[in-house]
Structure 1
Amino acid sequence: MRVSDLARQADTTSETVRHYTDIGLLKPFRDPGNGYRHYDVADLRLLRFALKARSLGFTLADIQSLATASEEGETPCVQVRSLIERRLEEVESRIRELQALSERMRSAMTEWQDKPDCHLDDGRVCGLIDAVVGEDEARSGR
C-alpha cells in the first residue's frame, strides 16, 4: 500500500502516516525504483493501534514504547495500565484546573457586566482585569 491507501484504510490523513513514518513508528519498504514508500498489513495494524491509543491520551512516545515491547515479544499490557492510570490522573487534575478557570471567568464576566469601558491614565492596561487580579491577590495573601 502507498501512503494514501494506508491513510484511507485507517481513516486518517496522509500527513499522519508520513509523520508516524518520519518518527520511526511505521517502517515501510522503499521501492528502489521510484522511492515510494510501501506499507503492509502490519503497518496498518500498528497505525490503527496508534490512532486508538492516541484517542485514549497516550503520547507518541508511549505508543513507540508499547510497540517496541510488543515487537520484542513482551506484553505491554502492564505498561498500558500504568500509563493510562497516570494519564487519567493528569486529565482529571487538568479538568479541575479548567473548572476553576471557568468559575473565575464567569465571575469576572458577571462583575464586569455593569462596569463602563474606560481609558486609564495611570499606566495600567485594563482596569477590569486589574480589579479581578487585585481581588485574587488580596484573597490569596500575596
Structure 2
Amino acid sequence: MKVTELAKEFGTTPDTVRYYTRLKLLNPTKSENGYKYYPPTEISRLKFILSARQLGFSVSDIQHIVDEASLGKAACPLVRSLIKERLAETEKQFQAMLALRKNMKDALAQWEVKEDKAPTSTMVCHLIDSFEPTENNGGSHE
C-alpha cells in the first residue's frame, strides 16, 4: 500500500503516516519509481500506533513499547505500567478542568448581576478584578 492508500484505510492523513515513518515507527519499502510501499507488517504496525494514540500513549511510549517487543519480550507489563501513568495524568488534568469549570460558573453567576463599567487607568475589566472564587481551587500559574 502507498502512503495515501494507507492513510485512507485508517481514516488518517498521509502526513500522519509520513510522520510515523520519519520517526522510524513505520518502515516502508521503496520501489524503483521512488514510491514508499507499506507491507502488511507495517499496516499492522500503523493500526497498533493509532490505537495506542487513542489510548493516550505518547509517541515516546509507543517507541518504548515497540523497542521492548523487538527484543522478543512481552510488552504487556510495560503497557500496563504506562497506562497507569497516563491514567493518573489524565485524572489530574480532569480534576484541574473541573476546578476551572467551577470557577467559570462561579464567575458567570457573580457577573450576571454586576453592571458594565468603562475601563479606567487602573482597571481593564472590573468583572475579572472583582472575581472571588467560592473556594480555593489551587489557582496554579503554570
RMSD: 1.5
Distance 2:120 2:61 in 1: 53
Structure 1 runs (4+) deviating above 4 angstroms are none
TM-score, normalised on structure 2?
A: 0.88
The one-character-per-residue Cα deviations of 1:49-85 (angstroms, maximum 9, x if unpaired) are 0111111110011111111211221111111000000
Deviates more, 1:17-26 or 1:104-113: 17-26
Q: Distance in 1 between matches of 2:112 and 2:124?
A: 19
Aligned to 2:86: 87
1:80-116 Cα shifts (integer Å, max 9, x gaps): 0000001111111111111011000000001000212
Counterpart CA distance in 1 for 2:29 and 2:115 is 66
Q: CA separation in 1, counterparts of 2:8 and 2:117? A: 55
What TM-score, normalized to structure 1? 0.88
Determine the C-alpha separation between the residues in 1 that align with 2:19 and 2:114: 50
Structural mapping, 1:1-142, within 5 Å? 1-31=1-31, 33-132=32-131, 135-136=132-133
Q: Could you report, residue by residue, the CA deviation over 1:11-48 in whole angstroms, capped at 9, with x for unpaired residues?
A: 322121111111111011122x3221111001111100
| Bigger helix share | 1
1:8 deviation in Å? 2.2
**One-letter code of the match for 1:65?**
H
Helix, strand or coil at the partner of 2:24: coil
- Contact kept, 8 Å, 1:10 with 1:44, in 2: the verdict is no
